Structure 1
């Protein structure tokens, strides 16, 4: 037998699709359906019913304001009706095909309309001639919903993809698509694929193909926690309570389920009949309402009887159910400190999903200052003055709270790792392979995959320690985990292969000490800790060195062979942020190559990644999109950061049509290896993206693309129709880049007391390559005429083989023998 509802049904519409919608102030409940009228019920006085006639038949969608409602109908009309006057106000928009969904922005200015036409119309409710068309989706939109702050519009398409449009700015743009969550549905299907936004605006809930309910983060499109096992048939409707602490859902078999958001557990389950659409009262009242396919509406005040459940309903705003909530990383901001991104203050943008003012709400600013000592730093309303009262002379102790200042420090990070996105994250990404983990609530599952599967076999394991950092190279995999109630912080190393039984080892850090960053080379394991210690172990777990960083707090570290590079917070700059400083030490020789030198970052840029190249030179990649390499770092006090590539100047971005950024992976084989991130993505996600590679291009001068050669123009070897200026710019960049790579190779060779034959041959080859470039540059200068003679002479002086055939070749070029500059030996 079906359960008996706690209230009696009220006939509202003919049998069939029956919709209900509260006004924003919660005073009226609008019920629409197949009839040519709409009923409105007054909250608290449900017997006082207002009937609005002359509504077109077969209402497919309805939205409401405090004194009006808007109906979209089968005949393609979207009309606004006045509730008190019971009449049609105006026709907002017309479609040639039936209306399917409506959504109204929180400020009640814009109405989004979808129909059987493959477009979304966004009309200004106050000026119906202002219409914006959204057409990035390929098929019909079944559902529309605005987020609580009016920044995003979620459109559920019948192709099973969610299209999220950004409604900020003059023209809406497609923000992202979310695939693999909702099922493919026809517009006539009763099953729902609607995105129902959580009140904090950071995520939405929707029904999946497995008849479960999942939440999706709008910031990155990742699937978050799910509500499982509540329904055996298609989900028809979802509704969050006003504070987001409870979720109600209905299904085709009449089941109504109440969920607790925090635990995703079922708190009550009712077996009713013919339930269809459900909604909570928008002002946290204990009202739950639903309609049935019989055209009835249930208006149930005091629906919840359990005091614990009522406290949930009327309690503070709950968070969206994330696996790893980004707001947990902004505790510093809650405690009065600005959150940082790699040492720089992160702006709290009002009304955006990453903003704390969503949780604090309006009116909860720091207006706690009181003029209790008569110092005159507030006005009569208890607010700050605008400075016209002069300097403050009150007691120092009284003013300490607002006058306290602390520098903005650089956040620690693990090179090659990504933040949590849903329940997954990459622990390590490099040219050897990648390590990723999945949060299974009680434990994690870790997977290690390799690019060269003939050399190494992939493996995965159950992780009860919840490893949060990893390093991977050709010899082994290194992990670290934070401390918990059951164990201290630990470091775990697993070699890939050994000539004996594989010797995994695990070591514990002292109590109260956590791993800030870890690094793995072919000789050593390095652990940077929260106490500022640099702990170095051999690959068999033997402690080898330990010292404390001179600058802190620690930020990150990297390793190559016997070298360890550490980065920490240094002196405070003029912007109130600490500068990053680095040190490089040969741990085997106990020789300091560079001691507390500054990491070269431009103003307002942040450090994104740090690693050693395959030749053993330190590299960094910053948020400005620039890749830099450290030259002459083996000589104390001689190191300098040299740009290898400015990704913002890549030819693929010249048209301005592509919106992409780059996730740095490695510098190897003379190229920059990275992952291309499309749109607004900041980190790679699953499935595993492909690696891309770019040639180095030092930003010497802007390089215009070569023009196609016209009749009579000479075709150059490297391009057709290059002008002299273009050839000169290209060759100048090539000369600077080749000279840099030569000096890097020369420095790495200098560590050997005696050069091998291969090294000597390579040095000679690189010298010859530089001279060839100079010969080509000389040819360009000679074409310019005698007025460029001094620069031509300077180019000859830059040649390294001054006594050999290069000088002879230069003479031939100057005399007109330009064929020698074509790269001939």
Structure 2
């Protein structure tokens, strides 16, 4: 087959570009960062009309029957005549840059999303008539109407999709969808928009794992276009009749999928940096633009042996219900009342194949008599009984595939501007630079007197790293034709050839690594946990009960591994963790559930400087694992809720975890919509623990009593951690620390007891006295009660003191 080589037209300078066809296909319009609008006449070699209007980069364009609108980072939206190109009006202005606009199908309304926390919907004839969509936690990036104008969808930068009903005078929020679309900056090239199918019954979105998923109007997942892209998707577009879906990605791929089979029928990789797609509404033509300002037009994009991409709309509803038609049913089923011949399973499958894409627009009865509800289940009609519902439901559930948690390396960041951190911690940081043919890795330390900075050329493309006092551990994936590799380089080279490397087989990939003062762990795609000494001597290997792995961490001889676990009741995959002593081959906690917030995810995991497992979740809460050395007794306890910190009030910021040391939480403060730290490396911030055991007032003030109660709970948790530690490593320094902490807790309780006596709350004072740990503290409590002349209380505390002695 001869491959078409397309000739680009240079419409704009480098930067963000957008492309769109007029509804009749006569004009093709582009906008870009050079602040100009280009209007091309289709099938004409004439120079395009150039319109200069905005004062900053143009970020979006939308076209209706008679008009077209553009939006810009200058925070304005302008409305133009499609016929004369005259600017009719500046339709609206925002206080922050505008990211996307969309006409309603009838052209009467224009939806506008900006970096503000609301979306405007402006009437295009009565400019003062403006509706507002609000309730977002982060700014909106994309907005779209469905073809029937009943719904408006908004994609926000925090990865949440909001669906509004547009059937009444005031739009109302009817559904939100989380953890599907990517989390990205508002000015990112990554696509997170909702595109409605031309039949108005379903919509597609790009996902965080670089797939494309289709949902019905009942918000159920219906189909997925999987394994097409290896990097983030930059745009998606239905063909005019909905039979095909086009997608472009940062991996340089331009794909066209046949919707009926969810298979790729066209793949091109020579057009890099495609960021905007547009189908010709009345021809077999696809146009697209790149971030280099180039415009390409692809004629005859769909092969001649396939259905045309335009014309009568191909409805998705039969396809979405096809699985129900194919369900195995053991009861007797008949064609109709007049022909009682029993249908076989094979015939029913044939029916499903033959009718799934037939349009019964003339009522001639081409389509099967089966009826379905909005969720895709078969209704009871004719000779098909309600008992058959069991089989359909069973088939639907069996075909459901939950999405797993993808592996991550604690302390690492994704690529950005050809740079990324492989690890960031309190020892130092390792970062890498993409040089196309190889990477350059740099290892830096905070203590420059103790360690020496170094860098090297990386031909293995290491994508994981660990750093501690002993050395640096690297691992690469089995990509680009290379096998997976782990490489360890110690800081002290007192012996020759101290560094070492292990190459894995071609069918085994490394998903996560960890490094401690005594061992190295690699978790692989085969479900193996492989442990080595610091000199590369294999110690153990076993296959985990749950996999694939999500991440792993190490401290001394302890290893903690997090894996994808069983299915939750809401259809999501849970996370389980296992904690073991590698040298003793002793499993302390086995496949216990990791307590993540509803619809939340694990952001980071690490051991503290004292060796206690810590997790930081997507809600910004730091938790520590208590009693983890005792089989089956571990529990996760919150030490800090960053949302309740005083500095968080009124600020749009988040906290990227680094470590826990010296009873403080170390992190990097990220402003606005930032998800990861970037270069130059920001400074670390530290925060004291504050256990969320009290509820602040509306004013945010915390009373003295509440502060003391929080200190008591916090000190008790830290004391428990110390007591757990002393069980495994008894030492005089630890015992002294425990004594000091017990005295500190008693001091807090005595302060609370004194306040209770002042307020004449003797029952509470006695209860506080029962919590005292030291005999000298009970004596002090008795004196406090006597001082406030609480005779009954004094007698009861005296009795407590006598009981503690005996």
TM-score (structure 1 length as normaliser): 0.60
Residue 595 of structure 1: CA displacement?
2.7
Choose the corresponding residue for 2:743, options 765, 768, 776.
768
> Aligned partners of 2:29 and 2:399: how far apart in 1?
53
**Residue aligning to 2:734:** 759
> Aligned partners of 1:111 and 1:498: how far apart in 2?
63
| CA pair 706-615 structure 1, distance change in 2 beyond 3 A | farther
1:750 counterpart = 2:702: no
Residue 539 of structure 1: CA displacement?
0.8
> Aligned partners of 1:649 and 1:463: how far apart in 2?
43
Residue 463 of structure 1: CA displacement?
1.4
1:783 counterpart = 2:782: no
Choose the corresponding residue for 1:600, options 595, 600, 603.
595
**Residue aligning to 1:726:** 703
**Residue aligning to 1:814:** 785
> Aligned partners of 1:643 and 1:771: how far apart in 2?
22
Q: Deviations over 1:160-188 (max 9, x none)?
A: xxxxxx999999xxx9676xxxxxxxxxx
1:561 counterpart = 2:556: yes
**Residue aligning to 1:161:** none
Choose the corresponding residue for 1:470, options 465, 469, 472.
465
TM-score (structure 2 length as normaliser): 0.61
| CA pair 122-671 structure 1, distance change in 2 beyond 3 A | same
The answer as to whether partners of 1:68 and 1:80 remain within 8 angstroms in 2 is yes
- Residues paired across the two proteins, number: 596
Q: Deviations over 1:632-673 (max 9, x none)?
A: 11122222111111222222234xx22222222111110111
The answer as to whether partners of 1:148 and 1:199 remain within 8 angstroms in 2 is no
1:507 counterpart = 2:507: no
Choose the corresponding residue for 1:315, options 301, 305, 314.
301
The answer as to whether partners of 1:629 and 1:642 remain within 8 angstroms in 2 is yes
**Residue aligning to 2:444:** 449
> Aligned partners of 1:103 and 1:733: how far apart in 2?
46
| CA pair 130-634 structure 1, distance change in 2 beyond 3 A | same
- Is there any run of 5+ residues in structure 1 with no aligned partner, and where? 1-5, 7-19, 32-37, 52-56, 96-100, 115-119, 134-145, 154-165, 179-194, 203-216, 226-241, 248-259, 268-278, 290-302, 318-360, 708-721, 819-825
**Corresponding residue SS for 2:703:** helix
**Residue aligning to 2:412:** 417
Of structures 1 and 2, the larger Rg is shown by: 1
**Residue aligning to 2:236:** none
Residue 737 of structure 1: CA displacement?
0.8
**Residue aligning to 1:231:** none
**Corresponding residue SS for 1:479:** strand
The answer as to whether partners of 1:593 and 1:634 remain within 8 angstroms in 2 is yes
Residue 792 of structure 1: CA displacement?
0.7
**Residue aligning to 2:774:** 801
| CA pair 481-448 structure 1, distance change in 2 beyond 3 A | same
Q: Deviations over 1:477-514 (max 9, x none)?
A: 11111124754211111112232346110012244222
Structure 1 segment 409-808 matched on structure 2, within 5 A: 409-484=404-479, 486-501=481-496, 503-654=498-649, 657-704=650-697, 726-752=703-729, 754-756=730-732, 758-785=733-760, 788-802=761-775, 804=776, 806-808=777-779
The answer as to whether partners of 1:410 and 1:555 remain within 8 angstroms in 2 is yes
Residue 794 of structure 1: CA displacement?
1.7
**Corresponding residue SS for 1:746:** helix
**Residue aligning to 2:792:** none
The answer as to whether partners of 2:371 and 2:379 remain within 8 angstroms in 1 is no
**Residue aligning to 2:102:** 105
Moved more, 776-785 or 808-817: 808-817
| CA pair 456-122 structure 1, distance change in 2 beyond 3 A | farther
Residue 590 of structure 1: CA displacement?
2.6
| CA pair 455-71 structure 1, distance change in 2 beyond 3 A | closer
| CA pair 417-200 structure 1, distance change in 2 beyond 3 A | closer
> Aligned partners of 2:576 and 2:128: how far apart in 1?
58
Q: Deviations over 1:740-779 (max 9, x none)?
A: 1111112212223x522x2232221111111111111111
Residue 58 of structure 1: CA displacement?
9.9
1:128 counterpart = 2:108: no
**Residue aligning to 1:337:** none
The answer as to whether partners of 1:660 and 1:677 remain within 8 angstroms in 2 is yes
**Corresponding residue SS for 1:579:** strand
**Corresponding residue SS for 2:707:** helix
Residue 398 of structure 1: CA displacement?
13
Q: Deviations over 1:565-598 (max 9, x none)?
A: 1222334332334433222222223333223333
Q: Deviations over 1:256-286 (max 9, x none)?
A: xxxx99445799xxxxxxxxxxx99887788
> Aligned partners of 1:797 and 1:68: how far apart in 2?
78
The answer as to whether partners of 1:82 and 1:89 remain within 8 angstroms in 2 is no
The answer as to whether partners of 2:70 and 2:101 remain within 8 angstroms in 1 is no
The answer as to whether partners of 1:465 and 1:481 remain within 8 angstroms in 2 is yes
Residue 538 of structure 1: CA displacement?
0.9
> Aligned partners of 1:651 and 1:102: how far apart in 2?
32
> Aligned partners of 1:288 and 1:490: how far apart in 2?
42
> Aligned partners of 1:78 and 1:485: how far apart in 2?
47
Residue 430 of structure 1: CA displacement?
1.5
**Corresponding residue SS for 1:643:** strand
| CA pair 478-281 structure 1, distance change in 2 beyond 3 A | same
> Aligned partners of 1:599 and 1:113: how far apart in 2?
37
Q: Deviations over 1:603-631 (max 9, x none)?
A: 33322211100000111112222211111
The answer as to whether partners of 1:415 and 1:556 remain within 8 angstroms in 2 is yes
Question: CA RMSD for the aligned pairs?
Answer: 5.6
**Corresponding residue SS for 2:720:** helix
The answer as to whether partners of 1:243 and 1:313 remain within 8 angstroms in 2 is no
**Residue aligning to 1:331:** none
> Aligned partners of 2:778 and 2:67: how far apart in 1?
88
The answer as to whether partners of 1:583 and 1:595 remain within 8 angstroms in 2 is yes
1:404 counterpart = 2:399: yes
**Residue aligning to 1:141:** none
**Corresponding residue SS for 1:523:** coil
**Corresponding residue SS for 1:105:** strand
